[in-house]
Structure 1
Amino acid sequence: MRIKYIYQQLISHISVIIVAFLVVSFVFTHFVEQLVLEIKGQELLEYGVNILSDLQENPSPAEYQSTLIKYNDVLGSRGIGFGMFDTQRNRLYAVGGNFSITNDEWNKIKNGKGKIIKGSTWRGNQEVTLVAIPYSVNGQVAGVISLTAPLSDSKQMINKINEYLVYTVFFAFAVALLLSILLSRIHVKRLKKLQEATSLVAIGDYNVNVPSSNFDEIGELANDFNSMVGKLRESKEAIDALENRRRQFMSDVSHEMRTPLTTISGVIEGLNNNMIPEQEKGKGLTLVSQETKRLIRLVNENLDYDKIRSNQIVLMKERIQLQEVLEIIQEQLFTQAEEKKVEIEVVVAEEVMIYADYDRLIQIIMNITKNSIQFTENGLIWLRGRMEDNNTIIEIEDTGIGIEAKEIENIWKRFYKADISRTNTPYGEFGLGLSIVKQLVQFHKGSITVESEKGQGTKFTIKIPLNE
């Protein structure tokens, strides 16, 4: 059976209120009754003590009788009766009521238990408060004096108090019920907003926000919900961006591979059908070789990235002379740089060493330098190296077209291309080069940063610890 949360709240609150009111009412009523009876009993006890005191002060029969008559008038006007009994429980004197002493009461007095005050007992046909006080003659218990007061007046007062208490309980219950309904509606409304927001998130809408606070657990839940939705929104944006790059990547793959494959297929078909003149065959085979190497680079670049992501790269670190590495790269890229009228200049001292994997170090610097050649024309590229605070610093700076500030963080992302011209270049075909570079530098426990300004060139700075 489904019960709405607001009804659960109301049932819970009302149950607690009813139980609390019943307990409080019962305790209060019992307390008032006991208090009234105790006050009445103390009043009778004081009268009894006074009567005995006056009787002892006036022991002659005449004065004795006068004292009893005086108290008869005083107590009679207050509706209080009293009587005197001997040790055989025979009534010696009685005023205003049906007096008697029970065996149990007399035994307690006779055994030295002192005075007996009963909150409520029956004498005749009425309920009374009873006080029985023993009196002595020559040090021996000679009898008992008993005082009673009817409880009808006290009962009326107690009933009146209970009546007002009932009115108070109903009023308090009504106020508490209204407050319970109000608070329940507020809580249900807040939960309803969370439910509606959750439903929107469930269908893929992450642009939701619920009012939050640190006032209570629901407010904290709303805070956590907003934080969760924010992270989901960021994840969705990242996934969408990755999906867009993946689609662009697939488009690039198709384009990049179609061109060399078409070239290779055409040359081979021409060779098979003797459609290529003898003097052109060598040129055709060279073209096939170049295009094959280009395909190998494409495949290797992707394999490298996947190995890095799955932590399958094992570095064989050693101390290497940095000047040797930079000069090798300068020599290998000389032809490509010359085509773009770019001069590569190495600036490093002989004693500068670096602790790295030789092949991966070549790959790191080669990728960045190729990237610099690609975006530099009629300019310079500096390959610098130095030691600083037990670190080896490598700087690759060019005078190329530079990178816009908003694109600097994106250049490390997989598939990202800062310029569409990369689509048709054999270097960094899939936009993976710099992503691989950053991962390899991090594997060396190092860091890489880039500084660039549009039209003013770019500088990559690599810092790798000299020791493990």
Structure 2
Amino acid sequence: MKIKYFYQQLTSHVSVILIAFLILSVLFSHYVEQFVYDNKTEELATYGQTILHDLDRNPRYSTNTLQVYEHVLNGRDIQYILFDEQSAIIYSTELKAPVIGLLSEDEWQEIKNGKTVTVKQDFKRFNEAVTFVLLPYVQNNQFVGGILLTSPIKGSREVISQMNTYLLFTMVLALAVALLLSWILSNFHGKRIKRLREATSLVAQGDYSVRIPSANVDEIGELAEDFNKMVEKLNVSMEEIQSLENRRRQFMADVSHELRTPLTTIRGIIEGMRNDMISESEKEKGFQLASNETMRLIRLVNENLDYEKIRSNQITLFKQDMQLVELLEIIKDQLEGVAAEKHNHILVDVEPDVIVHADYDRLTQILINITKNSIQFTDNGSIYLRGYVRDDMTIIEIEDTGIGIDPDDIEKIWGRFYKAIVSRTTNPYGEFGLGLSIVKQLVTLHNGTINVSSEQGKGTKFTILIPNY
């Protein structure tokens, strides 16, 4: 059975308030009752002590004096009995029975020992329920009698009853106010949670644009803020997933196209030779074309295998110290012919004593990838290969004077499947767009970093930082 949060909040608030009020009411009522009876016994004790004090000053007590006290105490609804050491009544405002019959053995013993006896509520020994105080009368350290003062409980009960009535009225009023405030608060929090639930439902349906108002005033506000941050991250993740999915689809299309072309060429050459459709003079050219297309297929497959191995850390680096100038000269020699086809020049600028600590094969792969990119995006320009050491880091720069990169695309170039020019029909720049993604992974494996800066129409510079340890 589901119970709405609103009713849970309302019930919990009211229950807590009600229990708190009940406890406070019981404690307060007990305190008031105790206070009233303490007040009454103190009042009786004070009057009794006053009477006994007057008797001390005038041992031959006067009936007129006792009658005056009787008159005063009647106005306070107080009766008293004066008795001697034998419990015989000397003077009484109302009771005529022997005092010994009214007191218990323990009470009589206590008063004979000079102690005051107080009873806040007595319902049996008098004609009505009373509070009474029993004081000893001592002269020259000798017990010579005492005084018993009584007052009906009904007066005290009326005060207590009136206080309880006020307390009950206050409790009902406070409960009504608390119920109203609890309803307002529960409704307010219920609406906030409902907004969260509705927003969560929209997110579950794929809507990542939803946002809810948040304020850091309580935990629900913090939850709303965390929810908004979560949705923002989900939105970014979904955009990345969507982008990756689009690139994957483009990649599959590129794979189909790139593989179909060399396979079709190779099949055509084989069929032509089988059916003697290729002349002897053209066979060598056909073999060379088939060989080139086969190498192209191998290169495409290796490029993908390399990426997966690097991404899953399945390769081991064999680092060694090597002269950077020799490595850059090798890169220049390998790619000079490719650069010449586009009327580019490769220039090496590095001191002979610059040493780089890296895996030879993988660093060569990094530099060839970047340099080939620079050649592909540059016409009638220059590609600079530089190197120097700074703060225990070997820094390698590859800079070109090509077409540059759009500022919006700079961060995207490291993504898998990303290609600067999407259209296959107009894209002479590489196969699958995996080159720079592999480069970044390999640089990271060397505990290094790679940065790129570019300006459209003026060129691009890649900066690789590799630690010398």
Which residue matches 2:382? 380
Partners of 1:151 and 1:382 lie apart in 2 by 111
Give, in angstroms, the shift of residue 50 of structure 1. 0.9
2:75 alignment partner, one of 74, 77, 82: 77
Structure 1 residues 329 and 98: CA distance shift in structure 2, 3 A: farther
Does residue 115 (structure 1) correspond to residue 113 (structure 2)? The answer is: no
Q: What secondary structure is seen at the aligned counterpart in 1 of 2:378?
A: coil
The answer to whether the 8 A contact 2:89-2:96 is kept is no
Task: Kindly state the Cα deviation for residue 98 of structure 1 after the two structures are TM-superposed.
Answer: 6.4
Deviation string 1:262-282 (CA, Å, 9 cap, x unpaired) is: 111101111111100000000
Q: Equivalences for 1:195-206 in 2 at 5 Å?
A: 195-206=197-208
Aligned amino acid, residue 86 of structure 2? Q
User: Structure 1 pair 322/416, CA: closer, same or farther in 2 (3 Å)?
Assistant: same
Moved more, 338-347 or 191-200: 338-347
| Equivalent residue for 1:417, pick from 416, 419, 424 | 419
- 1:132-162 CA distances to partner (integer Å, 9 max, x unpaired)? 1011244221222101112222222222222
Classify the secondary structure of the residue corresponding to 1:126. coil
Residues 421 and 26 of structure 1: CA distance in aligned 2, closer, same or farther (over 3 Å): closer
Indicate conservation of the 8 Å contact 2:80/2:93, yes or no: yes
With 253-262 and 328-337 compared, the bigger mean Cα shift is at: 328-337
State how 1:216-227 maps to structure 2 within 5 Å: 216-227=218-229
**Percent of paired sites with the same residue:** 59
1:295 maps to 297
**Native 8 Å contact 1:422 1:428 kept in 2:** no
Cα distance in 2 for partners of 1:405, 1:426 equals: 21
Structure 1 equivalent of residue 91 of structure 2 = 93
Residues 27-73 of structure 1: CA deviation (Å, up to 9, x unaligned)? 1122112111111211111111111111121122xx43232222122
In the superposition, relative to structure 1, how do residues 440 and 12 fare at CA in structure 2: closer, same or farther (>3 Å)? same
Contact 2:248 2:417 (C-alpha < 8 Å) held by counterparts: yes
Question: Does 436-445 or 121-130 show the bigger shift?
Answer: 121-130
Query: Where does the alignment leave 5 or more consecutive residues of structure 1 unmatched?
Result: none
The aligned amino acid for 2:206 is G
Question: In structure 2, how many angstroms separate the alpha carbons of the residues matched to 1:341 and 1:136?
Answer: 135
Moved more, 261-270 or 79-88: 79-88
Counterpart position of 1:335 = 337
Match of 1:7 in 2: 7
Q: Given the alignment, which residue of 125, 131, 141 partners 2:133?
A: 131
Q: Within 2, Cα distance between the matches of 1:393 and 1:423?
A: 37
Do the aligned partners of 1:80 and 1:96 also contact (CA within 8 Å) in 2?
Answer: no
1-side partners of 2:298 and 2:427: how far apart?
15
Contact 2:48–2:147 (Cα < 8 Å) also in 1? yes
Alpha-carbon contact 1:252-1:423 (below 8 Å) kept: no
- For structure 2, the residue ranges without an aligned partner over 5 or more in a row are none
Contact between 2:254 and 2:424, CA under 8 Å: does it hold in 1?
A: no
Pick from 426, 430, 433: which aligns with 1:431? Answer: 433
Q: Give the CA deviation at 1:422.
A: 6.7
Partners of 1:86 and 1:121 in 2: CA distance:
23
Match of 1:444 among 443, 446, 469: 446
Give me the whole-angstrom Cα distance separating, in 2, the residues matched to 1:317 and 1:10.
70
- Residue range with higher mean Cα deviation, 156-165 or 188-197: 156-165
More divergent stretch after superposition (24-33 vs 277-286): 24-33
Shift in alpha-carbon separation, 1:321–1:294, aligned structure 2, 3 A: same
Output one character per residue of 1:361-403: Cα deviation in whole Å (capped at 9) or x when no partner: 1111101111111111111111122222222221111111111
What amino acid is aligned across from residue 92 of structure 2 in structure 1? A
- Measured at CA, do residues 92 and 411 of structure 1 come closer, stay the same or move farther in structure 2, by a change above 3 Å? same
Question: Residue 78 of structure 1: CA displacement?
Answer: 2.4
Instruction: Could you list the structure 1 runs, at least 4 aligned residues long, displaced by more than 6 angstroms after superposition.
Output: 421-426
TM-score, scaled relative to structure 1: 0.95
RMSD over equivalenced CA pairs, Å: 1.7
Report the alpha carbon displacement of residue 421 of structure 1 after superposing the two structures with TM. 6.3
Partner in structure 2 of residue 102 of structure 1: 103
Which AA in structure 2 matches 1:398?
Answer: D
CA distance in 2, matches of 1:427, 1:392: 29
Letter in 1 for 2:120: G
**2: CA distance, partners of 1:325 / 1:273:** 48
Q: Distance in 2 between matches of 1:402 and 1:168?
A: 81
Partners of 1:434 and 1:422 lie apart in 2 by 18
Task: Give, in angstroms, the shift of residue 111 of structure 1.
Answer: 3.4
Distance of 1:292 and 1:424 partners within structure 2: 23
CA offsets per residue over residues 397-433 of structure 1, 9 Å max, x none? 1111111111111111111111246767676310010
TM-score after normalising by structure 2: 0.95
* Aligned-residue offset at 1:201: 1.4
Secondary structure in structure 2 of the residue aligned to 1:214: coil
Mapping 1:353-364, distance limit 5 Å: 353-364=355-366
Instruction: State the aligned residue count.
Output: 464
The 5 Å alignment of 1:198-277 reads 198-277=200-279
Residue type matched to 2:73 in 1? L
Supply the distance in 1 between the matched residues of 2:461 and 2:22 (Cα, whole angstroms).
Answer: 82
CA contact (8 A) 1:408 1:450 kept: yes
The answer (yes or no) to whether the contact 1:55–1:67 under 8 Å persists in 2 is no
Question: Which range moves more in the overlay, 118-127 or 4-13?
Answer: 118-127
Q: Contact 1:321 / 1:351 at 8 angstroms: preserved in 2? A: yes
